[in-house]
A and B are shown apart, each in its own frame.
Chain A
């Protein structure tokens, strides 16, 4: 069976075939876009079914899905929505992964967020390191940033800096997701917490309605959180993990790509140092980290990249 690959600058990308019914769930479209990082993603005609490395069906009733699964043994992902019945037991074989925009852990499906948070671009900063930054800049020890009011008057880049070093952040609505991604200890309201699916005392502190709407009261709650280092460290860590696992579309796409075997088929660049880099990637090492330069330097002579020999 031929495997179709698209060329890229770094290697060859596998083909991920999309099998869709007319008018697919709009919520699947951002996922398809995110999957382009690892694969050529496009709709397939029947004659192309055998050329795809993997499939993604936007519904179990997609025309051609049954045929595709009979013609190819390659893995497939199945998108399920609330409106569609989960009757994939009728399919010739089971999906490698089931995807849903609904949080339904009982069904075992991977939750695909609608969020566009990219946690790989947001460095996680623990409360302890935040305190060090505040000390460097002479900022107040219990600095609280509000994303729901006056602090939003700050320019965007300053607001991000404030989120990065604040001892606690009061965030409501969509801003809560970003604050969690910064690993900020967050105070929020019930509605914002419920919308994201975060829990009181676990990923956030939820202030009651009579507190959240009173500036002095909410400041006191946030300051109390800021002053409780173990609690701040615990909930901010859990908040960041929540953002990575449940709010980061790119990360969900990576999981899908991994389950469909798309990552393994990419030609690795950089030789043995790529393996080391992948181990460091597991620890979310930023591309700018000095340790990556040290690894490349250490491996250079083994990989024939060393130019000057003494």
Chain B
């Protein structure tokens, strides 16, 4: 199952080629642990790129040296910055962590200063860059994967479920969505597709909370099934913590479906507005459950929000993105 970043890269290369340019994707592996964190930085620093321009999207690829380097920043090494206190961060307050953070933030700033232009995936990513590195970036929104297929697919009557396609990882908070189902009374069902490290844990959670009649973990589904699941949903729930962009919410809007999200979901809130095209709940199981009930119990509201969602994404297109990146 491809993650959002991987799909983004492939779609970007495709869009650039569609615009008539030659484009190649260069990828290098990365070790995430502190000890080896800068190894890939060195590798990128040494790679000779004989191209008219390079577009770098993530840490550490923006360390590449090129006179026409454009950065379209998805995210930096977040566990050293805004996610430093998350359970999955290996940065503490010891000497080694602090010196690595110091060096990383200085390295990042210098490498990004080399760019002829800095764009960001969202306003949130731009805000983080300004806060941690003192640099400005211009948000540049783009369509999610399957945008065209979803927008061309016919709207179907709701089949009484709320859908979420998601990697089953802690930062996406799938357990919160499942816990929310214990607080629903409308008879709504929750369908979650996707795989990840929390798969077993989530199935155990469903067992423990006796939610078999309300929650279905579908595992991996192909694109055709994914489109079908969007079409038949009453709405989409997506409650990641501090997300960089939020493909799932955009995909929901392309399918004309409202989104339930939370106040701390990050850049998702740059597109979802409470009672305009979705419902923004508190990040609690009770509040999310109540929002999901609302969509089921008030189909006209769900339709109105979904229609507004279509309008939210109508101006997203790859042509303008490519033009900005290539002409910067």
Contacts and interface: CB of A to CB of B under 8 A. Distances in A.
Interface of A: 123-126, 128-129, 132-133, 135-136, 229-230, 232-238, 275-276, 279-280, 282-286, 289-291, 294-295
A136 B94 CA distance: 8
B65 interface: yes
17 contacts: A124-B102, A124-B106, A128-B81, A132-B84, A132-B93, A132-B98, A133-B98, A230-B127, A234-B134, A238-B134, A279-B46, A282-B110, A284-B110, A289-B103, A291-B41, A291-B42, A294-B39
A283 B134 contact: no
Contacts of B38: 289-291, 294
A284 B106 contact: yes
A283 B133 contact: no
Contact of A136 (B46, B93, B106, B135): B93
A260 B134 CA distance: 34
B175 interface: no
Nearest to B44: A279
B183 interface: no
Contacts of A236: 134
B216 interface: no
Nearest to A136: B93
Contacts of B93: 132, 135-136
Interface in B94-119: 98, 101-103, 105-107, 109-111
Describe A's contact surface by its main secondary structure.
helix
B111 A283 contact: yes
B131 A129 contact: no
Interface in B17-44: 35-36, 38-39, 41-42
A123 B106 CA distance: 9
Given A124-B106, A237-B109, A129 B98 contact: yes
Given A126-B109, A135-B93, A233 B132 contact: yes
Contact of B135 (A132, A229, A237, A283): A237
* Chain A to chain B: the 9 pairs with minimum beta-carbon distance, closest first: A233-B134, A237-B134, A234-B134, A291-B38, A136-B93, A230-B130, A279-B45, A126-B105, A229-B131
Contact of B133 (A126, A275, A284): A126
Contacts of B136: 234
B133 A233 contact: yes
A38 to B, nearest CB: 22
Interface of B: 35-36, 38-39, 41-42, 45-46, 65, 81, 84, 93, 98, 101-103, 105-107, 109-111, 127, 130-136
Contacts of B103: 285-286, 289, 291
A236 B106 CA distance: 12
A229 B127 CA distance: 10
A276 B46 contact: yes
B28 to A, nearest CB: 15
A236 B135 CA distance: 11
Nearest to B104: A129
Contacts of B81: 128
Nearest to B133: A233
A128 B105 contact: yes
B32 to A, nearest CB: 15
Contacts of A128: 81, 101, 105, 131-132
Contacts of A280: 42, 45
Contact of A234 (B35, B45, B65, B130): B130
Given A128-B132, A129-B102, A289-B38, 16 more contacts: A124-B106, A126-B132, A126-B133, A128-B131, A132-B93, A233-B132, A233-B134, A235-B134, A276-B42, A279-B45, A279-B65, A283-B45, A285-B103, A289-B103, A294-B36, A294-B42
Contacts of B106: 123-124, 126, 283-284
A283 B64 CA distance: 12
Contacts of A238: 134
Contacts of A275: 46
B103 to A, nearest CB: 6
A233 B131 contact: yes
Given A238-B134, A283-B110, A129 B101 contact: yes
Nearest to A229: B131
A295 B36 CA distance: 11
Which of A232, A236, A280 has most chain B Cβ within 10 Å? A280
A276 B65 CA distance: 13
A276 B39 CA distance: 11
B320 to A, nearest CB: 27
A279 B42 contact: yes
A129 B130 CA distance: 14
Contacts of B134: 126, 230, 232-238
Nearest to A289: B103
